[in-house]
């Protein structure tokens, strides 16, 4: 039985350039999973970008030293497929009755397709949005799950004019993504435009009812002597029956220095 | 110190929004910016038990009691900030992001943010061409008392005021921009350090996006009246 709460998936990832992989996402997550960091697969840096993984594997030099950035091909010259990468990992998860699990991506740049045990889910575009997929029904019965994600760069990565300039040719502004990546007066362009699974990947296991995006607000009166905490939560009942819930909120004073509250 | 439990029935497959009755505090320890007092944080835990099942889900967050106000000063045209009713002299630093390959970690954020606090800053301005910063960034700004000015993804250079003039109407997909903005607000809105959402850098977002942001981020009518009822 999986424990209620969040499990971060930040180890054991592999990556490979999409053009070097002849398999589909269904094959990668059923009959032909990669066995380990052997070509074209390499150890991946998640969360992180495609370039971070290539630098960590010494496939490319670190662009922050000397003029190394000049030796890294820019996406404008290589084409988007050159920085379109597969990311792959395995995870254990076995649920008990009435348990549910979500696969969460806190940030992907710029769009992706997710394959889990042979099932495909498409993630919408946008660098600054979370994705939460209810994968309860597609987990593997034996608990060993295979996950593959193909990540595509921004739709408009733009081209860096020979004169450089703030934001290059500004094409990146057509997407909802970080704009500095085309270069600015204080920095050179980022060659992969920060493509990748750039923020946390996690599994969240719940019972039949799930808490989403609580909102906490404080209000003050009488010169801050009288204060109120207002809390609003969204709840989702993912079972087939009426859920009789006890909803609790508890506020504990902070941990003062090294005094622990028990 | 404060525990409140409410009973709730949720129909099968339904998604509901629930507000707790407000919880009263007498003289709570307030959260203050760096150099003005302690950054008191309270651990707020929300959990839901389901009859016949047990604990179903749990969420917690370190919350700071503080009131942040800002307005344009008619005499100077500058933006003035107040925290808990006290005016703040803003010592702000520009922030793009911590690493250009997004190798972002708690440790890295703690080091970067503490460095700025040690330099006696009390605000980080997250530039519109960079990131909507991450919860770990905001957590350490909560801990070290750095107010955060967070811009959305519009810059003068790229969105209509650069050379060449380009994207005068911002990104191609305004609905996608608003979806990302709304989700980012939900991700970050409970952090004590979050002081100001800003449409963009040296540029106002396209009218429809600007209007939607202003509407969504307006003060909730419930908090409009100041007389304490």
User: Which is nearest to B223 in space by CA: A199, A9, A51, A229?
Assistant: A229
Nearest residue on chain B to A216, alpha-carbon basis: B190
Dist. CA B122–CA B141, nearest whole Å: 9
Task: Note whether A246 contacts B129, CB cutoff 8 Å.
Answer: no
Describe the strand order of the beta sheet including B79-83 as a list of residue ranges. Answer: B68-72, B79-83, B86-88
Q: In degrees, to the nearest 5, what angle opens at C-alpha B185 toward C-alphas B184 and B190?
A: 120
Q: Please tell me the distance in Å from B91's CA to the nearest CA on chain A.
A: 22
Nearest residue on chain A to B21, alpha-carbon basis: A230
SS3 B123: strand
Task: Note whether B222 contacts A230, CB cutoff 8 Å.
Answer: yes
What average pLDDT is seen over chain B? Answer: 95
User: Which residues, other chains included, contact A252 with Cβ-Cβ below 8 Å and sequence gap of 6+?
Assistant: A261, B1, B42, B43, B45
Dist. CA A90–CA B70, nearest whole Å: 48
Interface test with B, best of A194, A206, A245, A253 (most B CBs within 10 A): A245
pLDDT at B222: 74
User: Which is nearest to B32 in space by CA: B177, B143, B197?
Assistant: B143
Tens-place pLDDT, residues B42-68: 999 999 999 999 999 999 999 999 999
Residue range B93-105: mean pLDDT, rounded = 95
Dist. CA A50–CA B37, nearest whole Å: 42
Residue range B197-220: mean pLDDT, rounded = 96
H/E stretch holding B210: helix B207-216
Number of neighbours of residue A237 by Cβ within 10 angstroms: 24
How would you class B70 by CB atoms within 10 Å of its CB: exposed for 0-12, middle for 13-18, buried for 19 or more?
middle
B85 contacts chain A (CB < 8 A)? yes
Q: Please tell me the distance in Å from B17's CA to the nearest CA on chain A.
A: 4
Residue B133 has pLDDT above 70, yes or no: yes
pLDDT at A262: 46
Q: Write out residues 212-231 of A within 8 Å (CB-CB) of B.
A: 213-231
Task: Note whether A229 contacts B63, CB cutoff 8 Å.
Answer: yes
Cβ–Cβ pairs < 8 A, chains A and B = 328
B19, B102, B187 member nearest A52 (Cβ): B102
User: Which is nearest to B128 in space by CA: B217, B204, B206, B33?
Assistant: B204
Positions in chain A whose pLDDT score sits under 70:
1, 254-262
| Token reading at A146 | 């295979």
A6 contacts chain B (CB < 8 A)? no
Dist. CA A28–CA A22, nearest whole Å: 10
Q: Please tell me the distance in Å from A31's CA to the nearest CA on chain B.
A: 32
Dist. CA B225–CA A120, nearest whole Å: 50
Residue B227 has pLDDT above 60, yes or no: no
- Whether residue A84 contacts residue A24, with contact meaning beta carbons closer than 8 Å, is answered with no
User: Which is nearest to A146 in space by CA: A22, A30, A1?
Assistant: A30
User: Which residues, other chains included, contact A241 with Cβ-Cβ below 8 Å and sequence gap of 6+?
Assistant: B12
What average pLDDT is seen over chain A? Answer: 95
Residue range B89-101: mean pLDDT, rounded = 96
User: Measuring CA to CA, how many Å separate B56 from each of B11, B43, B46, B108, B187?
Assistant: 15, 20, 11, 33, 21
| Token reading at B100 | 């250009």
User: Which is nearest to A33 in space by CA: A102, A116, A92?
Assistant: A116
pLDDT at A258: 58
pLDDT tier, B196 (very low <50, low <70, confident <90, very high otherwise): very high
Residue B86 has pLDDT above 60, yes or no: yes
pLDDT at A3: 82
How would you class B2 by CB atoms within 10 Å of its CB: exposed for 0-12, middle for 13-18, buried for 19 or more?
middle
Tens-place pLDDT, residues A84-93: 999 999 999 9
Q: Please tell me the distance in Å from A169's CA to the nearest CA on chain B.
A: 8
Task: Note whether A207 contacts B55, CB cutoff 8 Å.
Answer: yes
Nearest residue on chain A to B5, alpha-carbon basis: A248
Q: In degrees rounded to 5, what are phi and psi of residue B6?
A: -125, 150
B219 contacts chain A (CB < 8 A)? no
Largest separation between any pair of C-alpha atoms in chain A: 68
pLDDT at B226: 54
Q: ipTM of this predicted complex? A: 0.95
């Amino acid at each position: 039985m999986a424990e209620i709460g969040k499990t971060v998936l930040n180890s054991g990832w592999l990556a490979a350039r999409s053009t070097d992989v002849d398999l589909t996402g269904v094959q990668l997550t059923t009959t032909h999973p990669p066995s380990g960091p052997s070509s074209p697969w390499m150890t991946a840096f998640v969360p992180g970008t495609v370039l971070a993984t290539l630098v960590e594997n010494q496939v490319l030099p670190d662009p922050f030293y000397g003029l190394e950035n000049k030796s890294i091909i820019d996406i404008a010259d290589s084409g988007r497929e050159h920085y379109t990468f597969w990311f792959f990992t395995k995870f254990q998860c076995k649920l008990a009755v009435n348990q549910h699990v979500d696969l969460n991506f806190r940030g992907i740049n710029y769009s992706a397709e997710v394959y889990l045990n042979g099932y495909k889910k498409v993630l919408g575009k946008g660098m600054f949005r979370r994705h939460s997929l209810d994968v309860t029904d597609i987990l593997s019965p034996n608990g060993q799950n295979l996950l593959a994600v193909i990540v595509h760069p921004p739709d408009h990565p733009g081209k860096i004019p020979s004169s450089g300039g703030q934001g290059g040719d500004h094409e990146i502004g057509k997407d909802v993504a970080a704009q500095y990546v085309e270069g600015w007066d204080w920095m050179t362009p980022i060659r992969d435009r920060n493509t990748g699974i750039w923020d946390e990947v996690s599994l969240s296991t719940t019972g039949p009812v799930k808490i989403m995006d609580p909102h906490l607000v404080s209000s003050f009166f009488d010169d801050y002597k009288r204060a109120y905490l207002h809390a609003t939560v969204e709840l989702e009942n993912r079972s087939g029956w009426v859920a009789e819930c006890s909803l609790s909120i508890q506020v504990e004073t902070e941990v003062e220095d090294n005094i622990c509250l028990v | 110190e404060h525990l409140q439990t409410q009973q709730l029935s949720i129909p099968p497959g339904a998604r509901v929004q629930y507000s707790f009755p407000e919880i009263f505090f007498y003289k709570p320890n307030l959260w203050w910016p760096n150099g003005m007092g302690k950054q008191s944080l309270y651990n707020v835990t929300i959990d839901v038990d389901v009859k016949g099942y047990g604990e179903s889900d749990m969420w917690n967050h370190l919350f700071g009691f503080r009131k942040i106000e800002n307005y344009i000063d008619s005499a100077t045209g500058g933006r003035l900030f107040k925290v808990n009713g006290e005016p703040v002299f803003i010592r702000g630093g520009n922030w793009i992001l911590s690493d250009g390959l997004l190798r972002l970690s708690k440790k890295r954020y703690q080091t970067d943010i503490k460095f700025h606090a040690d330099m006696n800053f009390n605000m980080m301005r997250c530039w519109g061409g960079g990131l909507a910063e991450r919860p770990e960034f905001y957590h350490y700004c909560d801990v070290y008392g750095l107010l955060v000015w967070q811009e959305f993804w519009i810059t003068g250079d790229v969105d209509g005021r650069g050379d060449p003039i380009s994207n005068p109407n911002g990104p191609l997909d305004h609905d996608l921009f608003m979806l990302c903005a709304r989700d980012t607000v939900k991700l970050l809105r409970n952090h004590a350090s979050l002081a100001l959402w800003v449409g963009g850098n040296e540029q106002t977002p396209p009218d429809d996006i600007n209007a939607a942001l202003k509407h969504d981020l307006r003060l909730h009518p419930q908090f409009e009246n100041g007389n304490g009822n």
